[in-house]
Copies of this chain bind each other. A is one copy, B any other.
């Protein structure tokens, strides 16, 4: 993409009301635009990152045998009454009427809709298990919304629902999802802790949150310095400094975290509400065991920024960066520099690399570098009279201090070694 054509605009300063780092950097860099409190547009740069995250999640869902669907946001009142949630979580529902006076809510989640569908499809143990996911917009009438994409009122979520004949089958799949989630977060360059949380009385067990430890988080986590023990504030019975109740060796640490994913055993709450039963091998009618598994894409994107930035701006991990390479010619008026930069741009694109090419002639090189740091593209490639005198380009990775000179003919090989190709 030629930067002169890219629809974006960086801002030198943003409103003082924007306190959270990711919110500030995504706004300054022109990734998002606020339409109303807690409601954001994804601009082209933001869309590209969001799409990469979407693709990573989709790949990992398909890998664990989940099939993709797309369910409506507009959901009729009566299905929410079946589960009692029209009242129980009524405050968080955006409620509205159609022109015939029928009541609806905008789906904050889709257990009601999906269980109804599965009920129509599943009758025998042969029809199970079922694993369905979607990547779709959710609406939550939150009391508080802050931090830009960290807690929005409208956001895209990946929600997976699984349906099993028995607890054992459910537990096996639950473990598979944990591993899929760990792969997703790793690909986003996030270190997560799998944290025990309340299962809200659905089952006797616990649910699990995937927490990224950072001071920007809203949640409070207690975890062990040595083993994988970790609980959120709501269920934790430990205190900072005490010995770990699990390994007896480590000490309990208290820290803030952002929940980037959660997985939840639903037991038979929804299957019983919607009469989602099946006939087992012995001919006995049983309720289907369910689980649900969510990842908010916008929050994930913001969290990546929270833990991947420096003073100058964002440092996108390779897999989610809007572009992989930022190509910047220094002396735009020099014909040799310009034609070489153009040629490199074409060649990188032919090599399937995603390149942002700063072809703007009215912008100073100092401004270009400042903006480049803010946008956070992982690798910067500079073409100048000086480097060309040795048939080289200058390469700097956004997350490193070192500058390297690479011969132009070796560029693709270098990018291969660095896993950009």
Q: Which residues of A come within 8 Å of B, CB atoms? A: 5-9, 33, 35-36, 39-44, 46-48, 50-51, 65, 67-76, 91, 94-96, 98-99, 102, 104, 106, 113, 116-117, 120-121, 126, 130, 132, 137, 139, 141, 143, 153-154, 156, 362
The 3 closest A-B pairs by CB, nearest first: A96-B96, A42-B70, A44-B67
- The binding surface of chain A is classed by DSSP as mixed
The answer to whether A74 touches B153, judged by C-beta atoms less than 8 angstroms apart, is yes
What is the count of identical protomers in the complex?
A: 2
The answer to whether A69 touches B42, judged by C-beta atoms less than 8 angstroms apart, is yes
Distance between Cα atoms of A48 and B7 in the complex (Å): 31
Distance between Cα atoms of A42 and B7 in the complex (Å): 33
The answer to whether B44 touches A139, judged by C-beta atoms less than 8 angstroms apart, is no
- A76 and B36 contact, Cβ closer than 8 Å, known pairs A50-B70, A99-B91, A117-B43: yes
Nearest CB of B to A245, in Å: 40
Nearest residue (CB) in B for A142 is: B99
The answer to whether A69 touches B41, judged by C-beta atoms less than 8 angstroms apart, is yes
Distance between Cα atoms of A239 and B36 in the complex (Å): 50
Most buried by B among A9, A41, A120, A137: A41
- A72 and B7 contact, Cβ closer than 8 Å, known pairs A43-B117, A99-B91, A137-B137: no
The answer to whether A117 touches B72, judged by C-beta atoms less than 8 angstroms apart, is no
The answer to whether A154 touches B41, judged by C-beta atoms less than 8 angstroms apart, is no
The answer to whether B154 touches A74, judged by C-beta atoms less than 8 angstroms apart, is yes
